[in-house]
């Protein structure tokens, strides 16, 4: 599944100033738009529920292939997340603090995985990959890190911008703490929300990723869903709904944790659903 | 073609001085939910006059201005321009120029296009617009910046363009909503002068809203002090300063000392050993011990062994020095003294503070 | 990582009286950049190298392979095939599809954003819509395909409704979920929310003072939009259209899951050429198609970035 744009928003996604003395009242067309939109978005969901039927939901987990596929996806998600964090947290912090001039460059690099569609990326990877990696799903896990990179970077960068890193680091250094201590005790604890965001986004990404997995011939959860349609359409639909539900849960998790910690800090936080024009909006158009 | 009149020089814009229209505000009221923002405000502005509405935030001054501009409507009361009630006239047709607090220039247009925008709405052709915009930019001293975009201009420059833009349409009334608040001190002072000069030259009736009393006093022909939706006093700056009508006005405008005093007789108070009359009517319910309000220049301070106070600090203000004294009874007062005479008054010196004259004073309940 | 950072700090801390040599200064500079080495290596191996491989292979003859010892002479034959016949159709389809699923959501998304923006008491509505948009923008790929299969396939729920109410079986009359317009219908599901999320902050960046100043100077609604709001919003709007366009070009999973790989769209064709199920030995053609796709998207993204810069300047 996907991950969307992350950017710094003002505390708690700002409510706009409405031009007072509200006039221009044409509420009719507004209702029409909202109704059409609601219909378009809700009807497919409802159709899926009807199509699948109650039975299919209970059946989903009963197939052994489901368990294997889901376990594989989870395993890949864990690998990818750990690798992403291990790679991106130190890098982002380091660049932010010690190489600020190449921040722009880094931002540009992290846009690349978006410019290169996963379908193209995976065929390139498969072209090049050494034999020992090709047979295992680990290749996928490694490549998922590349896919997750933009989102991890944005989250972490936004997190770094939300508190005065420089001052805290200088204070910590002046009190005698070395770099490792400062990183571990000062910087990273303040990045918890951002790291959680990055984690959730990576997990959501991996759990929903179909393109690369299918071309690499590994049956992750989404691949299983597609393959299983031959056996039972309703089960596939039910599994899809479950997948969407999990996505929704994960996203809500970020939102609640994010807003809670933002209230505590009263500053800008990583917000999932708001894209500010001041930062280059970045998205993966189709959740892959 | 220019003509000289007593009030000033008419400009090539063909506008004669005092061409502004008279504005009459009557019993304006407006509430937002339970909050009563305006409570029966009444005010007459003469043609060509600059009236400042002064008060703390929340006093209703901005609401009043916005009602005059047409961005809010009043619950009751009326606003008339040149004798005609404008309640039914939409904001776009009121022919008033407004300068907002900040960031009101259209970001996608150059300074010149911004200034010419109102003229474009009035269907002037491109050549005339450019010419007129040029004249106005010159008036505010920004001819060189005509082709620059707002984000390339400083805050002060932006506000000057905003002023030029508002004046371009030759409005009957000019409205200024705290235009200088977002600027830094030096720029503010420069702009104050510029606005005042322009306004006098063009003779536009102007309503100016601010919370900065120095600004209001230095620029306005008359100042209206507002509080909680009501006008406490409207008078010329000097009258406001020397004869404040209420304790609120007295303390809001300029610096005021509060000294302990006591009623002595029907309309007199004894303070600092002297007995002086009470200004205005005796406030009801006051008797016995009260606070007496005296300005720093209304007091004298002299070095005297075992006087009634000790000097705690000195603030050099140029020709005057403001001496801070703690009187017995733990009352802090500030007294102005010519700097040459204040030389020996170092902190810790024992001094005697007394009333400089015998003018009537305002009294307030003891706090 | 920590080692390299401490190493970078240490020389500075040791500020002895010795005259700093140029070598030490250069060494320090290198050490500073040491911190990004892991990242650089990863990106090089995981992103840059595959792309180079694709770029090179795209110009290899179709049935050749990349032999390590010597590469065949570069040829344009793949690119030639890529712009003819069914592959040309694929390119045309994906371009049209992306255009349609950029423009339509742009307009509709803008209208949605505008309705929230101008609603009185809009705070709650705004939060609901933003959250919903954020969630729906993430519904895509395989699950989305199955939602639409459930709704509009021959046995779909909505197909059934239309048949019951209007006695009109859409599939019998030429409707197909497996044609580009069917896929487009599904793409709207994540494109529209994306537009809402991007254009809403832009709308909210319109300062009320601008509208009031315009009104004060005599402008009615229409003039305000024509001279101020429109031009100011245009970069954001166009930028988002480009973003959506690029997204449409990149998409694979939804179309693949929906059509089973039978539709003529470039990403799908690339997949078909490279999963070995269709024509073995045509891999280099797939790489060529991939290269073309990447170039188009790169151009689009450059345009997008430029527009965003402009937008940021005005809507600060």
pLDDT of residue A27: 74
pLDDT of residue C11: 42
Contact C159, C171 (CB under 8 A): yes
pLDDT of residue B324: 93
Name the residue among C157, C291, C308 with its Cβ closest to that of A50: C157
Q: State the Cα–Cα distance between residues C126 and B317, nearest whole angstrom.
A: 54
Q: State the Cα–Cα distance between residues C288 and C46, nearest whole angstrom.
A: 19
- In A78-234, the DSSP E strands lie at none
Q: State the Cα–Cα distance between residues C256 and C252, nearest whole angstrom.
A: 6
Compute the nearest-CA separation of B148 from chain A (Å).
22
* CA dihedral of B321, B327, B331, B335, whole degrees rounded to 10: -20
∠ Cα C193 C194 C197 (to 5°): 85
Q: Determine whether A134 is exposed, middle or buried from the number of CB atoms within 10 Å of its CB (0-12, 13-18, 19+).
A: middle
Q: Chain A neighbours among C 226-245 (CB < 8 Å)? A: 236, 239-240, 243-244
Per residue in C247-285, pLDDT tens?
Answer: 899 999 999 999 988 899 999 999 988 886 666 677 888
Q: Determine whether C250 is exposed, middle or buried from the number of CB atoms within 10 Å of its CB (0-12, 13-18, 19+).
A: buried
DSSP 8-state symbol, A18: P
pLDDT at C127 over 90: no
Residue C62 pLDDT grade (very low, low, confident, very high; cuts 50, 70, 90): low
Compute the nearest-CA separation of B72 from chain C (Å).
11
Q: State the Cα–Cα distance between residues B270 and B308, nearest whole angstrom.
A: 15
Q: State the Cα–Cα distance between residues B197 and B317, nearest whole angstrom.
A: 27
Q: State the Cα–Cα distance between residues A254 and C135, nearest whole angstrom.
A: 12
Query: Are A285 and C5 an interchain contact pair (Cβ–Cβ within 8 Å)?
Result: no
* N-to-C CA span, chain B: 61
Residue B16 pLDDT grade (very low, low, confident, very high; cuts 50, 70, 90): very low
**Residue B53, φ and ψ in degrees, nearest 5:** -100, 120
Name the residue among A48, A109, A142 with its Cβ closest to that of C43: A109
Contact C62, C274 (CB under 8 A): no
CB proximity list for A75: less than 8 A, separation 6 or greater: A137, A141
Q: State the Cα–Cα distance between residues B155 and A152, nearest whole angstrom.
A: 38
Number of B–C residue contacts, CB under 8 Å: 76
**Mean pLDDT score, B43-64:** 93
B113 interface with A at CB cutoff 8 Å = no
Compute the nearest-CA separation of A30 from chain C (Å).
5
Instruction: Give the whole-number percent of chain A exceeding pLDDT 70.
Output: 81
Per residue in B115-127, pLDDT tens?
Answer: 999 999 888 999 9
pLDDT of residue C22: 73
**Mean pLDDT score, C119-141:** 84
A189 interface with B at CB cutoff 8 Å = no
Cβ-based contacts of B71 with chain C (< 8 Å): 212, 215
B104: helix, coil or strand?
A: coil
pLDDT at C83 over 70: yes
Cβ-based contacts of B94 with chain A (< 8 Å): none
A179 interface with C at CB cutoff 8 Å = yes
Contact B292, B261 (CB under 8 A): yes
Query: Are C216 and B102 an interchain contact pair (Cβ–Cβ within 8 Å)?
Result: no
pLDDT of residue C280: 67
Cβ-based contacts of B72 with chain A (< 8 Å): 20-21
pLDDT of residue C3: 41
Strand partners, B275: B270
Helix (H) or strand (E) holding B84: strand B84-85
Sign of CA pseudo-dihedral A280, A286, A287, A288: negative
pLDDT of residue B58: 85
Cβ-based contacts of B73 with chain A (< 8 Å): 21
Between residues A11 and B224, which one has the greater pLDDT?
B224
Residue C71 pLDDT grade (very low, low, confident, very high; cuts 50, 70, 90): low
B361: helix, coil or strand?
A: strand
pTM of the model: 0.78
Compute the nearest-CA separation of A236 from chain C (Å).
7
**Mean pLDDT score, A140-163:** 90
pLDDT at C112 over 50: yes
User: In terms of Cα–Cα distance, which of A111, A203, A206 is closest to A154?
Assistant: A111
pLDDT of residue A10: 26
Q: State the Cα–Cα distance between residues A2 and A228, nearest whole angstrom.
A: 21
pLDDT of residue B233: 94
**Mean pLDDT score, A19-40:** 73
pLDDT of residue A161: 87
pLDDT at A285 over 80: no
Per residue in B225-281, pLDDT tens?
Answer: 999 999 999 999 999 998 888 889 998 998 899 998 888 877 888 888 888 888 876
Contact C91, C296 (CB under 8 A): no
Complex ipTM over 0.85: no
B71 interface with A at CB cutoff 8 Å = yes
**Mean pLDDT score, A89-108:** 87
Contact A205, A73 (CB under 8 A): no
Name the residue among A17, A119, A124 with its Cβ closest to that of C53: A124
Contact B177, B98 (CB under 8 A): yes
Between residues C182 and C309, which one has the greater pLDDT?
C182
Residue A224 pLDDT grade (very low, low, confident, very high; cuts 50, 70, 90): very high
Residue B194: how many other CB atoms lie within 10 Å: 17
pLDDT of residue B285: 67
User: In terms of Cα–Cα distance, which of B350, B43, B351 is closest to B206?
Assistant: B43
**Mean pLDDT score, C174-186:** 90
Residue C314 pLDDT grade (very low, low, confident, very high; cuts 50, 70, 90): confident
Q: State the Cα–Cα distance between residues C92 and C264, nearest whole angstrom.
A: 9
**Mean pLDDT score, C102-120:** 91
Per residue in A64-91, pLDDT tens?
Answer: 899 999 999 999 999 999 999 999 998 9
Q: State the Cα–Cα distance between residues B204 and B97, nearest whole angstrom.
A: 10
Between residues C268 and A232, which one has the greater pLDDT?
C268
Furthest CA-CA distance within chain B = 79
Residue A264 pLDDT grade (very low, low, confident, very high; cuts 50, 70, 90): low
Average per-residue pLDDT for chain C: 84
Cβ-based contacts of B70 with chain A (< 8 Å): 21
Substitution target from A5, A47, A60 for chain C, most C beta carbons within 10 A: A47
Per residue in B75-114, pLDDT tens?
Answer: 999 999 999 999 989 888 888 999 998 878 998 899 999 9
DSSP 8-state symbol, C20: P
Instruction: Give the whole-number percent of chain C exceeding pLDDT 90.
Output: 41
Compute the nearest-CA separation of C172 from chain A (Å).
20
pLDDT of residue C19: 57
Q: Determine whether C137 is exposed, middle or buried from the number of CB atoms within 10 Å of its CB (0-12, 13-18, 19+).
A: buried
Compute the nearest-CA separation of A23 from chain B (Å).
10
Residue B4 pLDDT grade (very low, low, confident, very high; cuts 50, 70, 90): very low
Average per-residue pLDDT for chain A: 79
Q: State the Cα–Cα distance between residues B87 and B74, nearest whole angstrom.
A: 9
pLDDT at A24 over 80: no
pLDDT at A278 over 70: no
pLDDT of residue A88: 93
pLDDT of residue B174: 95
User: In terms of Cα–Cα distance, which of A201, B48, B81 is closest to C138?
Assistant: A201
Q: State the Cα–Cα distance between residues B17 and B7, nearest whole angstrom.
A: 7
Q: State the Cα–Cα distance between residues C176 and C173, nearest whole angstrom.
A: 9
pLDDT of residue C68: 43
Residue C77 pLDDT grade (very low, low, confident, very high; cuts 50, 70, 90): confident
Cβ-based contacts of A121 with chain C (< 8 Å): 47, 50-51
pLDDT of residue C276: 66
pLDDT at B13 over 50: no
Residue C223: how many other CB atoms lie within 10 Å: 17
Residue C18 pLDDT grade (very low, low, confident, very high; cuts 50, 70, 90): low
pLDDT at B339 over 80: yes
Q: Chain C neighbours among A 6-35 (CB < 8 Å)? A: 9, 13-20, 22, 24, 29-30, 33-34
A94 interface with C at CB cutoff 8 Å = yes
Q: State the Cα–Cα distance between residues B23 and B47, nearest whole angstrom.
A: 8
Query: Are C214 and B97 an interchain contact pair (Cβ–Cβ within 8 Å)?
Result: no
C176: helix, coil or strand?
A: coil
Q: State the Cα–Cα distance between residues B217 and B240, nearest whole angstrom.
A: 9
**Residue B331, φ and ψ in degrees, nearest 5:** -100, 130
Between residues A252 and A7, which one has the greater pLDDT?
A252
Contact C207, B104 (CB under 8 A): yes
Query: Are A20 and B73 an interchain contact pair (Cβ–Cβ within 8 Å)?
Result: no
Q: Determine whether B220 is exposed, middle or buried from the number of CB atoms within 10 Å of its CB (0-12, 13-18, 19+).
A: buried
Cβ-based contacts of B107 with chain C (< 8 Å): 210, 232, 313-315
**Mean pLDDT score, B12-22:** 60
Helix (H) or strand (E) holding B301: strand B299-303
Q: Which of A129-138, B170-179, B244-253, B339-348 has the lowest mean pLDDT?
A: A129-138
pLDDT of residue B279: 82
């Amino acid at each position: 599944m996907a991950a969307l744009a992350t950017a710094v928003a003002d505390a708690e996604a700002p409510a706009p100033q409405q031009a007072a003395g509200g006039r221009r009242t044409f509420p009719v067309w507004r209702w029409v738009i909202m109704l059409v939109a609601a219909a378009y978005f809700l009807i497919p969901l409802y159709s899926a529920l009807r199509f699948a039927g109650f039975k299919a939901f209970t059946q989903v987990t009963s197939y052994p292939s489901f368990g294997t596929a889901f376990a594989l996806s989870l395993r890949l998600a864990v690998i990818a997340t750990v690798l992403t964090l291990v790679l991106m947290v130190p890098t982002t912090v380091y660049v932010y603090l010690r190489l600020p001039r190449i921040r722009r460059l880094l931002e540009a690099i992290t846009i690349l995985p978006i410019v290169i569609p996963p379908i193209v990326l995976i065929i390139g990877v498969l072209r090049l990959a050494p034999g020992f990696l090709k047979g295992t799903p680990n290749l996928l896990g490694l490549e998922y890190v590349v896919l997750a990179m933009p989102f991890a970077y944005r989250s972490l960068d936004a997190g770094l911008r939300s508190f005065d890193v420089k001052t805290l680091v200088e204070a910590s250094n002046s009190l005698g703490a070395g770099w490792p201590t400062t990183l571990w005790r000062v910087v990273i604890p303040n990045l918890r929300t951002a790291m959680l965001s990055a984690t959730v986004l990576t997990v959501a990404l991996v759990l929903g990723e179909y393109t690369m997995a299918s071309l690499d011939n590994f049956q992750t959860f989404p691949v299983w869903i597609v393959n299983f349609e031959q056996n039972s359409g309703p089960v596939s639909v039910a599994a899809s709904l479950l997948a969407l539900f999990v996505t929704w849960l994960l996203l809500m998790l970020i939102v609640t944790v994010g807003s809670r910690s933002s209230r505590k800090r009263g500053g800008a936080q990583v917000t999932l659903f708001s894209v500010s024009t001041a930062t280059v909006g970045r998205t993966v158009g189709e959740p892959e | 073609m220019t003509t000289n009149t007593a009030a000033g020089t008419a400009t090539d814009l063909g506008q004669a001085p005092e061409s502004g229209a008279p504005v009459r505000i009557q019993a304006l009221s407006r509430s937002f939910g339970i909050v009563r923002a305006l409570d029966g405000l009444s005010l007459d502005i003469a043609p060509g006059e600059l009236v400042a509405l002064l008060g703390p935030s929340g006093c209703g001054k901005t609401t009043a201005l916005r009602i005059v501009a047409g961005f809010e409507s009043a619950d009751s009361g009326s606003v008339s321009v040149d004798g005609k009630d404008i309640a039914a006239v939409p904001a776009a047709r009121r022919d008033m120029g407004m300068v907002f607090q900040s960031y009101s220039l259209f970001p996608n247009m150059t300074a010149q296009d911004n200034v010419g925008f109102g003229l474009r709405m009035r269907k002037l052709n491109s050549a005339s617009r450019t010419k007129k915009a040029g004249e106005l930019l010159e008036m505010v001293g920004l001819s060189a910046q005509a082709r620059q975009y707002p984000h390339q201009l400083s805050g002060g420059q932006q506000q000057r363009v905003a002023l030029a833009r508002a004046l371009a349409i030759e409005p009957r009334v000019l409205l200024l909503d705290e235009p200088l608040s977002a600027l830094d001190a030096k720029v503010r002072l420069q702009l104050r002068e510029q606005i005042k000069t322009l306004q006098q030259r063009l003779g536009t009736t102007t309503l100016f809203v601010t919370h900065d009393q120095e600004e209001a006093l230095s620029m306005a022909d008359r100042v209206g002090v507002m509080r909680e939706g009501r006008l406490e006093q409207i008078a010329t700056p000097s009258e406001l300063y020397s004869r404040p009508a209420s304790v609120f006005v007295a303390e809001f405008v300029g610096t005021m000392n509060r000294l302990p005093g006591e009623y002595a007789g029907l309309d007199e108070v004894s303070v600092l050993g002297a007995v002086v009359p009470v200004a205005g009517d005796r406030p009801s319910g006051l008797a016995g011990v009260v606070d007496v309000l005296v300005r720093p220049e209304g007091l004298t301070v002299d070095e005297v062994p075992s006087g009634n106070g000790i000097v705690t600090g000195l603030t050099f203000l140029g020709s005057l020095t403001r001496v801070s004294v703690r009187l017995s009874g733990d009352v802090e007062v500030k007294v102005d003294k010519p700097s040459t005479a204040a030389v020996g008054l170092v902190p810790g010196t024992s001094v005697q503070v007394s009333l400089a004259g015998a003018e009537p004073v305002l009294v307030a309940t003891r706090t | 990582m920590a080692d390299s950072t401490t190493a970078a700090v240490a020389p500075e801390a040791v500020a002895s009286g010795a005259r700093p040599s140029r070598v030490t200064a250069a060494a320090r500079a290198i050490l500073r950049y040491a911190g990004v080495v892991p990242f650089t290596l990863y990106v090089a191996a995981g992103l840059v190298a595959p792309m180079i491989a694709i770029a090179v292979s795209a110009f290899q003859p179709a049935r050749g392979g990349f032999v390590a010892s010597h590469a065949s002479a570069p040829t344009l034959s793949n690119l030639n095939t890529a712009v003819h016949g069914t592959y040309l159709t694929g390119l045309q389809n994906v371009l049209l599809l992306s255009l349609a699923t950029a423009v339509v959501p742009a307009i509709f998304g803008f209208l949605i954003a505008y309705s929230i923006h101008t609603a009185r008491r809009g705070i709650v509505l705004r939060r609901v819509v933003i959250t919903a948009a954020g969630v729906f923008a993430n519904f895509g790929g395989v699950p989305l395909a199955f939602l639409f299969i459930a709704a509009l396939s021959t046995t779909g729920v909505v197909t059934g409704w239309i048949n019951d109410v209007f006695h009109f079986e859409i599939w019998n009359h030429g409707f197909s979920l497996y044609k580009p317009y069917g896929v487009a219908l599904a793409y709207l599901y994540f494109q529209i929310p994306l537009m809402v999320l991007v254009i809403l902050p832009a709308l909210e960046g319109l300062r009320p003072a601008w509208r009031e100043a315009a009104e004060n100077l005599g402008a009615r609604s229409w003039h305000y939009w024509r001279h101020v709001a429109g031009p100011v919003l245009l970069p954001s709007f166009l930028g988002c259209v480009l973003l959506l366009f690029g997204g449409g070009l990149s998409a694979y999973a939804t179309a693949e899951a929906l059509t089973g790989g039978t539709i003529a769209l470039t990403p799908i064709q690339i997949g078909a050429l490279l999963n070995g199920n269709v024509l073995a030995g045509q891999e280099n053609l797939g790489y060529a198609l991939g290269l073309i796709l990447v170039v188009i998207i790169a151009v689009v993204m450059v345009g997008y970035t430029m527009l965003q810069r402009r937008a940021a300047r005005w809507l600060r």
